[in-house]
Amino acid sequence: MCGIVGVFEHGRSRGGVTPDLVIRMRETLHHRGPDGEGLFVTEDGRLGFGHRRLSIVDLEAGAQPMFDAAGACLVFNGEIYNYPALRRELEADGVRFRTHCDTEVILHLYRRYGERCVDHMTGMFAFALWDPDRDEVFFARDPIGEKPLYWADRDGTFLFGSEIKAILEHPLAPRAVNEDAIGPYLANLVTPGPETLYRGINKLAPGHAGRCGRDGVRTWRYWSAAEPRAFADVGDEAVDRVRELLDKSIHDRLMSDVPVGVLLSGGMDSSTVVALLREQARGLASFTVGFPGYEDVDERREARWVAERFGTDHHEVTLSETDALGMLGPLIHHQDEPLADPVCIPLHAVCRLARENGIKVVLAGEGADELFWGYHGYHGALERWRLHRAALAAPRVLRRLAAAVTSPRTAPLRREQLEGFARGRLKPIHCPVGMTRHQRASLLLSGDEDVGWGPTAGIDGEDPLTTLGFDTQEYEFQVRLPELLLMRIDRFSMANSVEARVPFLDPALVDYVYRLPLSSKIRDGVTKWALKEAVADVVPPEVSQRRKQGFGAPTSRWFLGRHGSLLRDLMGQDTLRRYFDIPYLDSLLAGANPDSWEAGQILWPVLNFGLWHKHWIEGEPLDEIVERASADPHGAAPALA
């Protein structure tokens, strides 16, 4: 795993790229690769690549930037799990290798297949390759979006990096707010691609590639799970196929020359990873995080049970509100743009625990709920589908009336859902995952109704349940999963110089399960039916039958204390006042319910935005403002006038 940066002055015949500039950009990513560094700048000063390395495979070789015999230059972040098979195929055709690492395979694949090289790779990756023959930079991001790649093109200069902070080191990258993206950020808890919350800085979407040459930047999609938009005609043989694909994916992700651990919550997904390792699980390092006093988000007991059952070498860390406040500065720094999910807090802590115990690679269960339909919302939608179908069949005037008489202030989620019924196309489940349209319109001074994403056109005559199913999966796999869930684990594993791997998101497994009929995902009230059946011989019923418990942090209760004080401090400053309706925000904070969803869905995103603005836009340190909240012995301050 690595951090990559680059500058390409494609609009000039003589450039001004210097080693010092590339090094300055590169060193912002030291945490992503503390084991080695690399630099390349062309003689004409038009191109510079930088690389930081976290050594996982072929520890002695594999330095980057890496070159082929024709002078092509590559910087690469990620792992290509099928590289041994690719290497054998290439060697059989006469290709000679100088190293034993996966990086060199990409160079040879590019020489053979050009931009279609990405079709042959299974793994997580983001890379950029300078082709001197074409005088172009080719770049790509993996199909699911496990690894990030950000870019900007300003005044004939192409900039890219694994994190936005690297791009911001270049003088052509202004620290300006993309105000059009604030509303979509509040709706999704992250800015949907291809935009970011910085004006002029983009994120490459999952399954996309691009080229930069004399004519500028062009990007395109090379892979999508969403096509074709049709469920597969399969029976219970899906269970055996799921087991086969998942077994292969987990064991492929053990590829490493350093020890591997697992992030273990004790839930179905992480326990499945441990169980499928079988005898290899004994002695495997496992890590979990807990919140003493908050039983609804503390999974230590369940994780201990699984660790004892499979014999892992188990480690725990606990967090308090004071601990969480102390993490806010590092959280905002490593996020670059807000990832307004409280899970970032325990992720940071548990990845730090892994690194403290000498583990550089961890397996995690991300993606299983999205792929196999494990969330309560999925089950609830299918359970009530007869009522939903009847409502969709009602005259449109009645559907519109039902939406109009539902208060967006007292029942915002219901109003959003009823508006979907009025349109005749339901909102995808979890969309918006953050604030509803009416909440955003009330909070934002500019007003905003754009969620920043829309489903593809449905097929004529498509059943409404099929439409809801595919719309939901598109939203999950195009926005929520790659840009929020996968970016939070990328940021906070790499912040601690740890590589995280997610076996549930192998492209072959995703491609197969994505189109399984909904009856294979939820059956007789059982969520993740195909997965649970596939691993029933190794995952005990104490795990598979346990009620799902979300991974999170007790932010709702924290806003009654010092987190509320911190937010009120920001509400008194122009940092928030220039964008948000403060009286509306104040009313939400004053009425915060420790058992409600509003803190996580509204207050936490606003707090993250305010701290991000302070740190990244205004350039102010966060220590003083966080310390004021930490020192407040009474918790939240009185309501603002």
Do residues 501 and 364 make contact, with C-beta atoms less than 8 angstroms apart? Answer: yes
Which of 177-191, 455-469, 604-618 is predicted least confidently? Answer: 455-469
pLDDT reported for residue 596? 66
* Mean pLDDT value across the chain: 91
Tell me the C-alpha to C-alpha distance, in Å, between residue 53 and each of 62, 73, 352, 451, 493.
9, 16, 18, 37, 14
In order, the DSSP letters of 27-85 are HTTGGG-BTEEEEEE-TTSSEEEEEEE---SSSSS--SSEE-TT--EEEEEEEETTHHH
Residue 634 burial class via C-beta count within 10 angstroms: exposed 0-12, middle 13-18, buried 19 and up = exposed
Which residues are catalytic, by number? Answer: 2
How does residue 639 score in pLDDT terms, banded at 50, 70 and 90?
very low
Q: Report the C-alpha gap between 447 and 580 in whole angstroms.
A: 9
Q: Report the C-alpha gap between 365 and 586 in whole angstroms.
A: 37
How does residue 247 score in pLDDT terms, banded at 50, 70 and 90?
very high
> What torsion, rounded to 10 degrees, do the Cα atoms 593, 595, 597, 602 define?
30
pLDDT reported for residue 636? 45
**Closest C-alpha to 378, from 526, 557, 246:** 526
Tokens of 179: 């105000």
Do residues 201 and 173 make contact, with C-beta atoms less than 8 angstroms apart? Answer: yes
**At CA 146, angle to CA 87 and CA 336, rounded to 5?**
130
Instruction: Determine the straight-line distance between the first and last CA of the chain, rounded to whole angstroms.
Output: 50
Q: Report the C-alpha gap between 607 and 340 in whole angstroms.
A: 9
Residue with structure tokens 């603002």? 640
Count of beta carbons in the 10 Å neighbourhood of residue 224: 18
Tokens of 401: 């009336």
Residue with structure tokens 């000679």? 96
Count of beta carbons in the 10 Å neighbourhood of residue 44: 12
Tokens of 99: 């190293």
Claim: this prediction has a pTM higher than 0.75: yes
Query: Rounded to an integer, what is the distance from CA 311 to the centroid of its chain?
Result: 30
Q: What SS3 class is residue 623?
A: helix
How does residue 332 score in pLDDT terms, banded at 50, 70 and 90?
very high
In this predicted model, what pLDDT tens digit does every residue of 99-129 receive, in sequence order? 888 999 999 999 999 999 999 999 999 999 9
% residues pLDDT > 90 (the chain):
73
Do residues 88 and 129 make contact, with C-beta atoms less than 8 angstroms apart? Answer: no
Q: Report the C-alpha gap between 381 and 430 in whole angstroms.
A: 11
Do residues 124 and 189 make contact, with C-beta atoms less than 8 angstroms apart? Answer: no
In this predicted model, what pLDDT tens digit does every residue of 27-80 receive, in sequence order? 999 999 999 999 999 999 999 999 999 887 655 666 889 999 999 999 999 999
Residue with structure tokens 């079988």? 278
Average pLDDT score over residue span 478-501: 96
In this predicted model, what pLDDT tens digit does every residue of 375-416 receive, in sequence order? 999 999 999 999 999 999 999 999 999 999 999 888 888 999
% residues pLDDT > 70 (the chain):
94
CA atoms within 13 A on the CB side of 446: 13
pLDDT reported for residue 599? 62
How does residue 640 score in pLDDT terms, banded at 50, 70 and 90?
very low
Average pLDDT score over residue span 567-576: 93
In this predicted model, what pLDDT tens digit does every residue of 154-164 receive, in sequence order? 999 999 999 99
Tokens of 349: 């802590």
**At CA 519, angle to CA 517 and CA 520, rounded to 5?**
70
- Decide if pLDDT at 297 tops 90: no
**Closest C-alpha to 127, from 30, 4, 39, 255:** 4
Cβ density class 384-406: b for 16+ within 10 Å, e for less: eeeebeebbeeeeeebeebbeeb
Average pLDDT score over residue span 17-36: 96
In order, the DSSP letters of 112-147 are HHGGGGGGG--EEEEEEEEETTTTEEEEEE-SS--S
In this predicted model, what pLDDT tens digit does every residue of 507-542 receive, in sequence order? 999 999 999 999 999 999 999 999 999 999 999 999
pLDDT reported for residue 375? 92
How does residue 638 score in pLDDT terms, banded at 50, 70 and 90?
very low
Query: Rounded to an integer, what is the distance from CA 298 to the centroid of its chain?
Result: 22
Average pLDDT score over residue span 615-625: 89
Average pLDDT score over residue span 79-86: 94
Average pLDDT score over residue span 257-280: 92
φ, ψ dihedrals at 151, nearest 5°:
-150, 160
